[in-house]
Structure 1
Amino acid sequence: MPVFDTIKGALPMTHKTIQDALEWRYATKKYDATKKISDADWTTLRNSLTLAPSSYGVQPWKFLVIENPDVRKQLKPVSWNQTQVTDASHYVVFLYKEKMDADFVQKFINRVAEVRSAPLEALDGYKNMLVENLVKAQEEKIRVWSQRQTYIAMGFLLQTAALLKIDATPMEGFDPVAYDKILGLEGSGWKTVATVALGYRHQEDALQNQKKVRFTEDDLIQYIK
């Protein structure tokens, strides 16, 4: 039975479809620079980013899609010269909010009121809670929290790409300080934490033929009864 058969308009999605996608994906090392992601597929991929969950729903992240080839060339040397940076169809830089502030919280509250047609005064309690828990928290604690939240969005992007049979490479092998400088982020309150290359594997990428190595379920999953 399809997993999502009760969702109106959804494509049939079986348990095997999901399992096959998880088995199929790997961190692609060499991309075919001649193959590009279609507009329709990119729409679904970017929706996976904007619809990703976050604590409190505040979304302390931004995603830079680097389309300019010259900027990609600048990023490559500070990314250990990894070819994914320049050869992948799409290259997404994940930013986290370095510090939470009252203006950001208010922007979020305004969006909640807009989307849910709620009066702002009805959200005062929610707003005050966010200020107390996020704005008044220790800056280092918020930095770590924001980074962890951003990785949730990355996970959604990777899973969506796998289901679409689009290759993806999560990357931390780069100089984040150099990235922030090249991308003009210094003093913006946003910092680079990770990137994801997206596209289609090159036929010469030998890693695609290697077996996936994972610990057994007995090693990883424990049931507390």
Structure 2
Amino acid sequence: MEIEEKKTDLLSTFNFRHATKEFDPVKKISDENFQFILEAGRLSPSSGGNEPWRFVIAQSEELRRELAPLVYGAMRSLPTSSHFVILLARKGLTYEAPYLIQHQTQVKGVPVEVYESMKQAYVQFYKDLHLDTERALLDWSSKQTYLAMANMMTAAAHIGIDSCPIEGFDMDAVNALLDKKGLLGDDEFGLSVMTAFGYRSRMPARSKTRRPMEDLVQFV
């Protein structure tokens, strides 16, 4: 495929995607296609390549029923979506965090001595970004889950599957429910954002609207 065709193809994907509030409850995403969507999330970029996320797929009727009164932003999408993804953000990713040490030295293959030599750079990085509280660290991880979510939604749109990002929920209540279900590990994760996937039940009422480029971009 030539570069112009690639650009047209990708922009068509972005134009296809819209925030689908209600899905066709009968039409389901195949396992193969959903694995493709998840792979787009898994391959997403993250700060330091630390992958500070976990994807919980809420497919059981029981979990969806318990979530329903807590997720007011998904009143129509939760019960009708084919797949409903809860993105969790990893807590406490300091230089000394066991997960970070294991991830850098075992998953990414950084020699232990090299990792240890990076301590001062990490300290400065955390200082510059004001990552000095548990909340700040969780917010930092949560920001990165949005990269994975965006890539998953784009991958879905690329193969004709709809999605809707969801932030309208009772954070404390959902975290408590997920903790009760044993889905947050040993207080390792916190809720970040949710995404519903499926097939639209109707066409959008209007075409995509965006501000003009000149309102958004400034070359200096």
Q: Return the TM-score normalized by structure 2.
A: 0.84
Q: Tell whether 2:78 aligns with 1:85.
A: yes
Number of equivalences:
212
Deviation of 1:114 after TM superposition, in Å, equals 3.4
**Structure 2: which 5+ runs fail to align?**
none
Any conservation in 2 of the 1:64–1:94 contact (CA below 8 Å)?
A: yes
Q: Deviations over 1:90-116 (max 9, x none)?
A: 101111123224563x43343343345
Cα distance in 2 for residues equivalent to 1:67 and 1:127: 41
1:156 aligns with 2:151: yes
Q: Which residue of 2 aligns with 1:33?
A: 25
8 Å CA contact 2:86, 2:194 repeated in 1: yes
1:15-38 per-residue CA deviation (whole Å, 9 max, x = no partner) reads: 111111111110001101111111
Matched, 1:202 2:201: yes
Give the residue type in structure 2 aligned to 1:196.
Answer: T
Q: Is contact 2:138–2:190 with CA below 8 Å preserved after alignment?
A: no
Gaps of 5+ in 1: 5-12
In structure 2, the partner of 1:138 is: 132
CA contact (8 A) 1:180 1:192 kept: yes
Matched, 1:60 2:60: no
Partner of 1:8: none
Whole-angstrom distance in 1 between the partners of 2:121 and 2:15: 42
Per-residue Cα deviation, 1:53-81 (whole angstroms, up to 9, x for no partner): 11111122221111211101111111126
* CA offset digits 1:134-189 (Å, max 9, x no partner): 59941133232222122111111111111121100000111111111111249713
Is 1:111 the equivalent of 2:103? yes
AA partner of residue 142 (structure 1)? L
Query: Which of these residues, 145, 154, 167, is aligned with residue 172 of structure 1?
Result: 167
Structure 1 counterpart SS, 2:143: helix
Identity of paired residues, percent? 28
